[in-house]
Amino acid sequence: MPSRWQVRGGTLSNADHTLVMGVLNVTPDSFSDGGLFLDSAAAIERGLGMWSAGADIIDVGGESTRPGSDPVPADVESGRVIPVIEALSAAGAVISVDTAKASVAAAAIEAGAAIVNDVTSLGDPEMAAVVAATGAGLVLMHMQGAPDTMQAAPHYDDVVAEVTDYLATRSAVAVEAGIAEDAICLDPGIGFGKSLEHNLRLLDDGVRSLAATGRPVLVGASRKSFLEKILGPIPPQERDVASAAAHGAAITVGAALIRVHNVVEGLRAARIVDAIVRADGGV
């Protein structure tokens, strides 16, 4: 289902192709690439490479949200991401800032970010005002618990219904705060307080349910540990094919965006799935 997403400075749409968001972790402890791009110059080079490879959005984060991670102060997080956002934005890239802190989001938008990717769905009481005042796009994500405890014992009576209802509620809060409905994107939060079975249901019925709201749906299954629970022990850097399979399944049921560590492989997989699901049957 084609959807339009209003972000600061323009509109993104999956009418022609599934949108690809490249992950750029400017952190020492992210589960897949922690420490590789903590240096600003290395992060900028990585981001420019993803942009030139065809990413539609570069998602820059300065605080890990992997299971068991601890929060970092806002000034440290800002110090990591702002120089990177400034450089990538100046090069013409569409930037998302992956943060739950309103102060970091405000600084990132001032530096050129067009989107706020908030894993806490406006958990910071000041975040909605920042997004509303700047006209930034907003990703609302579902997470059960907090990163340091979320994988301890996730439980749902009906994961699809509960995630859908939660994101509907948070969307209503956002709109009430002055954020345009067209600026909101929904993310079921694969791996954020979910078991293997929860993740699998969300990648199918969960995406269908969220897509039915008419808002774009972002799926981030890239290199996550639930893939290892299916295939056996595989290091994160070797999970790109498995990630592509999960994302492909999500695209077929309505995902408008995928969030990937490997832009080249993620984009190739998305284009193949796009060609299949968008075929008009005229051959």
Under DSSP, is residue 134 helix (H, G, I), strand (E, B) or coil?
Answer: helix
Q: Which position among 8, 259, 268, 271 bears the catalytic label?
A: 259
Largest distance between two CA atoms of the chain: 57
HSE-up of residue 109 (Cα within 13 Å, Cβ side): 25
Indicate the helix (H) or strand (E) that contains 6: strand 4-7
Residue 259 designated active-site = yes
CA angle in degrees (0–180, nearest 5) for 149-25-204: 60
CB atoms within 10 A of CB 2: 10
Closest CA to 193 of 165, 223, 218, 226: 226
Under DSSP, is residue 243 helix (H, G, I), strand (E, B) or coil?
Answer: helix
Instruction: Round to whole Å and give the CA distance between 100 and 120.
Output: 6
Instruction: Count Cβ atoms within 10 A of the Cβ of residue 71 and give its class: 0-12 exposed, 13-18 middle, 19 or more buried.
Output: middle
Residue 18 region, left (φ>0) first, then alpha (ψ -120 to 50), else beta? beta
CB atoms within 10 A of CB 155: 9
Instruction: Round to whole Å and give the CA distance between 116 and 65.
Output: 15
Structure tokens at 60: 């820059």
Q: Which position among 66, 101, 208, 224 bears the catalytic label?
A: 224
CA 26 from chain centre, in angstroms, equals 15
Residue 101 designated active-site = no
CA 178 from chain centre, in angstroms, equals 22
> Which active-site residues does the annotation give?
224, 259
